């Protein structure tokens, strides 16, 4: 070992125009983005969307995050004593839920898209999460 002083390591950001790198500014920006994202997610949870099938015979309500809030079946549409009609009712509820979920996903894309920069549910440019932008259901 020698007693010569070590040369300082050059700042890699000098090649980008100098001025250094402000880690505090980056952290502050990340915190602001996180707060905006949390606010948008809270807004989604409070939003409601509907999905319908068979001309409104079955209507399903979900919130913006995809949670099922209610199912409405119009009176007189289904004979509760007919096994085939009850099976059809199950299919209609599923179809109405899928319609509502597609609307919830579109709402999520609208509210979260500008904040996530098109990263999708997979983040960092990965594929979208199964079931939509928030990864619900499928």
What number does CATH give the domain 47-108?
A: 3.30.1310.10
pLDDT of residue 34: 87
The C-alpha atoms of residue 129 and residue 112 are separated, in whole angstroms, by: 14
Segment 64-117, tens digit of pLDDT: 888 999 999 998 878 788 888 888 999 999 999 999 999 999 988 888 877 766
Sorted by where each begins, the domain ranges of the chain are 47-108
Can you give 99-136 as a three-state secondary structure string?
HHHHHHHHHHHHHHHHHHCCCCCCCCCCCCCCCCCCCC
pLDDT of residue 99: 94
Whether 10 shows a pLDDT value over 80: the answer reads: no
- pLDDT-derived band at 17 (thresholds 50, 70, 90) equals low
Whether 3 shows a pLDDT value over 70: the answer reads: no
């Amino acid at each position: 070992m020698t007693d010569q002083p070590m040369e300082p390591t050059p700042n890699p950001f000098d090649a980008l125009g100098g001025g250094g790198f402000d880690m505090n500014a980056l952290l502050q920006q990340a915190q602001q983005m996180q707060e905006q994202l949390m606010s948008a997610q809270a807004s989604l949870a409070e939003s409601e969307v509907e999905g319908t099938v068979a001309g409104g015979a079955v209507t399903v309500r979900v919130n913006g995050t995809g949670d099922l809030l209610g199912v409405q079946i119009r009176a007189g549409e289904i004979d509760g004593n007919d096994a085939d009609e009850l099976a059809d009712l199950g299919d209609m509820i599923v179809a109405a839920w899928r319609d509502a979920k597609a609307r919830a996903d579109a709402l999520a894309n609208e509210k979260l898209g500008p904040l996530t920069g098109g990263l999708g549910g997979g983040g960092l440019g990965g594929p979208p999460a199964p079931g939509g932008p928030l990864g619900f259901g499928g």
